[in-house]
Structure 1
């Protein structure tokens, strides 16, 4: 596989899937900007990568805030040059029955996942189009395809990301920017572990593999989409999901 080795910006990169993606891209030779709301964890993660000999810096940002996103992208450009690969991974989870959802819970879910994906993509897309080259990978979820009990707002936000991915791919593919999504199943991350034990047990029992995936499984999928081997993948949603969704 011809691995990506340019400048990559990964949101939600201080832990879980985002951290695994940042580590994989750095190991492949990319210059990685780890963006996260938790500045301390992001700084420690970037420092560990540098200590290993990789090229990495961190930036604190709330992806739902335009100015915050702009500052993170500016740091990336100043440090490594224009962002050539964007991985929209920043996430948020909250568990509740639909009838118990507050408007604030719904709004925050869409702010992080959908608004965050929009703002970060909008911040890097002009330079990609100007260069006639770029890669965007959006982190969706298999729940955006099949829905999830007590996760209506999460499922809806992830479904919106899949729709955004397809529509944007139709707009920019002929100008050199490839846009795809990854829809993981349940992965052993802090976000999934934040869900109730009953939910986790029920979901595990539904999976043909009978087990959750690991962050590295998703990182490998992102690395593939970032590579030249994926040059004809456009508007696709790849599913490392333990068999929860079969297409």
Structure 2
């Protein structure tokens, strides 16, 4: 029986795999544009870099912006820039996304003060620019906590409401280093590979349970110059 189940699950995986790649091929030539007006968009790592640019991009689209970061001053600057670009309703919270307890507590505040998040953008990440053998143990743990464990906690916090309504969107920022290993970023690369595996698995789970109204997107970026300790970091 277990052998039959394995075969059936393999067939199911292959069918879904082919379907999604065919769908992606069609959308490449006939893209659709999503109307996000009225959505509640939460962005982690919103105080600078890519997170700030994402907030500015959403600003004129009629969404409620929720900004999470440990950098409160940076969040204030993101709010200022988003306002200039047309944002009407914004909320900023100090939250260390690597801290499960803090994520859950802040998520409760967001639900009380703003509502259920319908678009979750997991952008927060820390870089690593050392050979693996030279990287301190605490740095390795910090990389995994921020770059992948935070995705677990935020999705645990906000995905149930999306599933209940069959409406929502999970967006995770990965990297070219999430597709191929890169020198001096072994822990970073591992965390970004994990992001891909995690969100792809969630996508299959949503498909299998009939929750087609909850979408997932993985964004792969290359080298991006940001204000992170004055260095070039990979996003």
Normalization by structure 2: what TM-score? 0.78
RMSD value over aligned CA atoms? 2.1
| Native 8 Å contact 1:47 1:57 kept in 2 | no
CA shift digits 1:49-79 (9 cap, x unpaired): 3465512110100001122212332333233
Aligned position for 2:162: 128
Aligned position for 1:203: none
| Native 8 Å contact 2:46 2:67 kept in 1 | yes
CA shift digits 1:10-57 (9 cap, x unpaired): 000010100011111122111110100112211332244346551211
Moved more, 135-144 or 165-174: 165-174
1:115 paired with 2:152, answer no
Unpaired segments ≥5 residues, structure 2: 1-32
Moved more, 4-13 or 165-174: 165-174
CA shift digits 1:176-206 (9 cap, x unpaired): 311221010112222495149xxx9xxxxxx
What's the secondary structure of 1:46's corresponding residue? helix
The Cα of 1:105 is off from its aligned counterpart by 1.4
Aligned position for 1:224: none
1:143 to 177, 183, 206: 177
Identify the structure with the greater strand proportion.
2
Q: Find the aligned partners of 2:129 and 2:137 in 1 and give their Cα distance.
A: 14
Question: Structure 1 2/163 Cα, relative in aligned 2: closer, same or farther at 3 Å?
Answer: closer
| Native 8 Å contact 1:186 1:192 kept in 2 | no
Aligned position for 1:188: 225
Aligned position for 1:90: 124
Q: Find the aligned partners of 1:130 and 1:67 in 2 and give their Cα distance.
A: 23
Query: How many residue pairs were aligned?
Result: 198
Aligned position for 1:81: 115
Question: Structure 1 101/52 Cα, relative in aligned 2: closer, same or farther at 3 Å?
Answer: closer
Unpaired segments ≥5 residues, structure 1: 201-217, 219-247
Q: Give matches, 1:101-112, under 5 Å.
A: 101-112=135-146
Moved more, 100-109 or 81-90: 100-109
1:61 to 72, 95, 101: 95
Larger radius of gyration: 2
